[in-house]
């Protein structure tokens, strides 16, 4: 399958080629023709599957009025002041910024005006940006409503709505905002919804927002999980920082994304790492937008070796070929484990996911194993055996991570348990 057979215009094919994408990903193969045909779509796909391009590319084509497939309705007039023709709503600022930069990137050969709005920064420049109208706006829910209330935006000509990471929006309590926004939009529109899970809440939301949608599902937990080498190290809770420092130094890791369950935990880990001479920064909801951007930029350009993130803040982080992620704490929500390790081994690259597992986290580990259908082998790091007895298998392999490609995937349980994602919630 090639991009050329999906119905994209020459300009977009040129862009795709310039990006170095040789073959479309499974979500792209299914979503691009569906969006081009102006159908509503409900797609179950995680970050890292190429989902941003799967909706952005065909939307840009529809909005540029170019090569509309025969039989499809003609799109509305071009831009009017304050009008927005397509809206992408994301749960976090980071994701909004990332999607917006993909939109800019993919639209570089088209006559398309796009923008992004989110909270935590001044609203005035956003009001000015909207003044001339936009083909495509990426927004977080709260700021979008603020802008509407200030009459800075007009949805009368809105043709396409995208809800990106809809499951996350529900997790973060944005359901009322989403329903509010839905009421402001013309009922006759194309709606696309992307979610990492297909829980009953998501099904309900989809029912209320989508019209006879095409259901696309490329997001079994295993498809992400299988690309990543996963290690679970039992360790005393109070020694987690120490063992992380040991692993970073011993393996000379230069770019590690570490997940912390709490904001406070993230900050104190950064202090501990800095004390050990490792450049680190945290990214979580209590940090200003400016501080988050600085941390992320530092991490991208290599100045920050360790980025410590909470689950919420981590959602928008897209650093390609991230070699290693560490779960400093195991998440309470097992789906978060899949999201977390999805940061590594992205778009065909293999990656390494390390989890530091303390005795009080047995329940979390069990739910993760149930979700992904894997029974992990616990591996003690020499010199860091936990003081409390746990059912572990010792590893005396001293060169723990010399070879990221090594096939040490966890053993698989019976097939019947292997596809735990859908319908689980
Ligand atoms: P996403 O799932 O949208 O977050 O995309 C994950 C990463 O995959 C991004 O860095 C994209 O640039 C990259 N990507 C998207 N589509 C393709 C493709 N067809 N081939 C290779 N990489 C891709």
3-state SS, residue 222: helix
Distance (angstroms) between ligand 1 centre and the Cα of 232 equals: 28
**pTM higher than 0.75, yes or no?**
no
Distance (angstroms) between ligand 1 centre and the Cα of 317 equals: 13
Angle ∠(294,300,302) on CA atoms, nearest 5: 100
Whose tokens are 């530092």? That residue is: 298
Distance (angstroms) between ligand 1 centre and the Cα of 346 equals: 8
What are the CA-CA distances from residue 76 to residues 64, 158, 185, 210, 242 (Å)? 11, 9, 15, 20, 59
| Choice from 2, 48, 347, 348 to test ligand 1 binding pocket (greatest atom count within 8 A of CB) | 347
Look at residue 7 in the predicted model and tell me its pLDDT: 93
For 236-332, list the strands marked E by DSSP: 256-259, 280-283, 306-309, 324-327
Look at residue 131 in the predicted model and tell me its pLDDT: 96
Look at residue 77 in the predicted model and tell me its pLDDT: 52
Distance (angstroms) between ligand 1 centre and the Cα of 422 equals: 23
Q: Are strands 134-139 and 374-375 parallel, antiparallel or unpaired?
A: unpaired
The Cα–Cα gap between 221 and 54 comes to 19
Instruction: Locate the ligand 1 atom nearest the alpha carbon of residue 98 and give its number.
Output: 4
Q: Are strands 411-412 and 379-380 parallel, antiparallel or unpaired?
A: unpaired
Atom 16 (ligand 1): residue with closest C-alpha?
50
Q: Are strands 190-195 and 160-163 parallel, antiparallel or unpaired?
A: parallel
Distance (angstroms) between ligand 1 centre and the Cα of 25 equals: 8
- Ligand 1 pocket: which residues have CB below 6 Å? 21, 24-25, 28, 47-53, 318, 320, 346-347
Which of 410, 405, 348 is CA-nearest to residue 379? Answer: 410
Instruction: Locate the ligand 1 atom nearest the alpha carbon of residue 45 and give its number.
Output: 2
Atom 18 (ligand 1): residue with closest C-alpha?
21
Instruction: Please report, in tens digits, the pLDDT of each residue of the chain (425 residues total).
Output: 789 999 999 999 999 999 988 888 888 999 999 999 999 999 988 777 789 999 999 999 999 874 344 444 444 457 899 999 999 999 999 999 999 999 999 999 999 999 999 999 999 999 999 999 999 999 999 999 999 999 999 999 999 999 999 999 998 899 999 999 999 999 999 999 999 877 888 989 999 999 999 998 775 555 566 678 899 999 999 999 999 999 999 999 999 999 998 889 999 999 999 999 999 999 888 888 888 889 988 998 899 999 999 877 666 666 656 788 999 999 988 878 887 887 776 555 678 999 999 999 999 998 888 777 678 899 999 999 998 655 444 343 333 333 222 223 333 333 333 333 333 33
Look at residue 416 in the predicted model and tell me its pLDDT: 35
Atom 13 (ligand 1): residue with closest C-alpha?
50
Contact 356, 390 (CB under 8 A): no
Whose tokens are 């020499």? That residue is: 382
| Choice from 18, 22, 52, 194 to test ligand 1 binding pocket (greatest atom count within 8 A of CB) | 52
Distance (angstroms) between ligand 1 centre and the Cα of 24 equals: 9
Contact 412, 374 (CB under 8 A): yes
Look at residue 374 in the predicted model and tell me its pLDDT: 73
Look at residue 411 in the predicted model and tell me its pLDDT: 38
Instruction: Locate the ligand 1 atom nearest the alpha carbon of residue 19 and give its number.
Output: 12
Distance (angstroms) between ligand 1 centre and the Cα of 164 equals: 15
Within 10 angstroms of residue 251's Cβ, the number of other Cβ atoms is 18
| Choice from 50, 51, 314, 348 to test ligand 1 binding pocket (greatest atom count within 8 A of CB) | 50
Farthest-apart Cα atoms in the chain, separation: 69
């Amino acid at each position: 399958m090639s991009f050329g057979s999906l119905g994209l215009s020459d300009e977009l094919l040129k862009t795709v080629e310039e990006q170095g994408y040789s073959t479309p990903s499974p979500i792209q193969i299914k979503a691009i023709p569906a969006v081009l045909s102006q159908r509503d779509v409900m797609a179950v796909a995680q970050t890292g599957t190429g989902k941003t391009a799967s909706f952005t590319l065909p939307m840009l084509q529809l909005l540029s009025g170019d090569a509309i497939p025969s039989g499809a309705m003609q799109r509305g007039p071009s831009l009017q002041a304050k009008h927005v023709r397509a809206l992408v709503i994301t749960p976090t600022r980071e994701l909004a910024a990332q999607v917006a930069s993909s939109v800019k990137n993919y639209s570089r050969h088209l006559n398309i005006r796009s923008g992004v709005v989110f909270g935590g920064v001044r609203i005035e420049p956003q009001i000015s940006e909207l003044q001339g109208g936009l083909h495509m706006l990426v927004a977080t829910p709260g700021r979008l409503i603020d802008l509407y209330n200030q009459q800075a935006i007009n949805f009368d000509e809105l043709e396409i709505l995208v809800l990106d990471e809809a499951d996350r929006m529900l997790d973060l309590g944005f359901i009322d905002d989403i329903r509010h926004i839905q009421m402001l939009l013309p009922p006759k529109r194309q709606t696309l919804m992307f979610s990492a899970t297909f829980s009953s809440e998501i099904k309900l939301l989809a029912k209320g927002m989508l019209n006879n949608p095409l259901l696309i599902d490329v997001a079994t937990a295993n498809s992400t999980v299988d690309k990543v080498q996963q290690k679970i190290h039992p360790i005393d809770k109070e020694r987690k920082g120490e063992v992380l420092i040991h692993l970073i130094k011993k393996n000379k890791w230069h770019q590690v994304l570490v997940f912390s369950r709490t904001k406070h935990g993230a900050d104190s880990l950064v202090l501990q790492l800095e004390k050990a001479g490792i450049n680190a920064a945290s990214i979580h909801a209590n940090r200003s937008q400016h501080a988050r951007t600085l941390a992320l930029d530092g991490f991208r350009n290599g100045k920050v070796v360790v980025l410590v993130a909470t689950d919420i803040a981590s959602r928008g982080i897209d650093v390609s070929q991230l070699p290693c992620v560490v779960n400093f704490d195991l998440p309470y929500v097992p789906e978060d484990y899949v999201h977390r390790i999805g940061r590594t081994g992205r778009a065909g690259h293999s990656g390494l996911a390390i989890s530091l597992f303390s005795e009080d986290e047995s329940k979390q580990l069990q739910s993760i194993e149930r979700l992904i259908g894997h029974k992990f082998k616990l591996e003690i790091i020499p010199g860091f055996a936990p003081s409390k007895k746990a059912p572990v298998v010792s590893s005396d392999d001293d060169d723990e991570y010399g070879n990221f490609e090594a096939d040490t995937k966890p053993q698989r349980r019976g097939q019947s348990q292997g596809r735990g994602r859908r319908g689980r919630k």
